[in-house]
């Protein structure tokens, strides 16, 4: 593994995001919604950096190869979604890769009559995408490589690493 972002750098950047979100949502009814399982670590650090009263919920999203020519479909499990009507929703995910997951979630939440829907990610991969939509907050832009740590997994492992590392061919 090759370390890309060290733990103190992540802590500093997440604290900065928390301050920015605090300023942007002051006086608003904020609900933070994490996407399981990759956002777990970011959600727990980020909500402690936001100095506002807020609610927290989680949803699950999984992408699977569809039979359509567009490639991948996203299925959402909203069983844990709290009531978001008239609330300002901030979706939190680990990485903006193809962007399909977050686009699907944002579209779905708009139908739940939230007052507003924005998204925050730790990592933004530098790669071409088919959609115009992009997250409102991000921690770091990274090259288009497969990474693990700080919530991100490979085969459900490495999520608990406090840093972000790129997997190398020998790790796969
Ligand atoms: P998207 O829908 O392609 O943007 O992908 C989003 C999901 O794919 C993320 O929430 C991750 O679960 C997973 N993913 C994408 N890239 C990586 C990676 O480099 N490491 C681990 N998981 C990834
Ligand atoms: Mg994920």
**Which of 21, 39, 38 shows the shortest CA–CA distance to 30?**
21
Residue 151 maps to a domain: no
What tens digit of pLDDT does each residue of 13-47 get?
999 999 999 999 999 999 999 999 999 999 999 99
Atom 3, ligand 1: which residue's CA is nearest?
Answer: 98
Is 44 part of a structural domain of the chain?
yes
Question: If you write DSSP's letter for every residue of 12-28 in order, what string do you get?
Answer: HHHHHHHHHHHHHHTTS
Confidence of residue 10 (pLDDT cuts 50, 70, 90): very high
Cα 93 to middle of ligand 1, angstroms? 9
The pLDDT value given to residue 156 = 94
Looking at the 3D structure of the chain, how many domains does it have?
A: 1
Pocket test for ligand 1, best of 145, 152, 156, 165 (most atoms within 8 A of CB): 152
pLDDT at residue number 123: 98
Query: Residue 100 and residue 46: Cα distance in Å, rounded?
Result: 23
pLDDT computed for residue 172 by the predictor: 77
Which domain does 59 fall in, by range?
8-64+74-145
Task: Give long-range contacts, CB 8 A cutoff, 24+ apart: 107-114.
Answer: 108/76, 108/78, 109/33, 109/84, 112/81, 112/84, 112/85, 113/84, 113/85, 113/86, 114/31, 114/84, 114/85, 114/86, 114/87, 114/88, 114/89
**43 part of a folded domain:** yes
pTM of the model: 0.94
Ligand approaching nearest to the C-alpha of 124: 1
pLDDT tens, residue by residue, 64-119: 765 554 556 889 988 889 999 999 999 999 999 999 999 999 999 999 999 999 99
Give the angle subtended at the CA of 103 by the CAs of 16 and 147, to the nearest 5°.
60
Mean pLDDT computed over 46-71? 83
Ligand nearest to the CA of 60: 2
Distance 55 CA to ligand 1 centre (A): 25
pLDDT number for residue 66: 53
pLDDT of residue 80: 87
Tell me the best of 95, 122, 128, 158 to mutate to test the pocket of ligand 1, counting ligand atoms within 8 Å of each CB and taking the most: 95
Looking at the domain assignment, is residue 87 inside a domain? yes
Q: What are the phi and psi torsion angles at 40 (to 5°)?
A: -50, -50
Closest to 125 in 3D by CA, of 156, 103, 94, 151: 94
Q: Is residue 100 situated within a structural domain? A: yes
Let me know if residue 103 belongs to a domain.
yes
Residues acting as catalytic residues: 97
Residue nearest to atom 19 of ligand 1 (CA): 146
Residue nearest atom 16 of ligand 1, based on CA coordinates:
97
15 occurs within a structural domain: yes
Report d(CA 87, CA 69) in Å as an integer: 36
Rounded to an integer, what distance in angstroms lies between the CA atom of residue 43 and that of residue 41? 5
Q: Ligand 1, residue 152: give the atom nearest the CA.
A: 21
Mean pLDDT over residues 140-167, rounded?
97
Cβ neighbours for 70, distance < 8 A, ≥ 6 positions apart: none
First to last CA, the chain: 10
- Look at residue 56 and tell me if it is in a domain: yes
Query: Which CATH number do you get for residue 137?
Result: 3.40.50.2020
């Amino acid at each position: 593994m090759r370390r890309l972002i060290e733990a103190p750098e992540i802590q500093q950047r997440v604290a900065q995001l928390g301050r920015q979100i605090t300023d942007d949502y002051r006086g608003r009814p904020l609900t933070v919604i994490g996407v399981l399982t990759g956002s777990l670590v970011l959600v727990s650090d980020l909500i402690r950096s936001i100095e506002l009263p807020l609610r927290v919920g989680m949803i699950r999203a999984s992408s699977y190869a569809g039979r359509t020519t567009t490639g991948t479909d996203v299925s959402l499990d909203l069983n844990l979604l709290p009531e978001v009507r008239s609330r300002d929703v901030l979706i939190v995910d680990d990485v903006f890769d193809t962007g399909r997951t977050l686009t699907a979630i944002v579209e779905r939440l708009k139908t739940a009559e939230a007052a507003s829907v924005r998204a925050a990610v730790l990592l933004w991969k530098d790669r071409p995408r088919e959609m115009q939509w992009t997250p409102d907050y991000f921690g770091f832009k990274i090259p288009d490589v497969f990474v693990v740590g700080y919530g991100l997994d490979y085969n459900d492992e490495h999520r608990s690493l406090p840093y972000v590392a790129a997997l190398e061919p020998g790790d796969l």
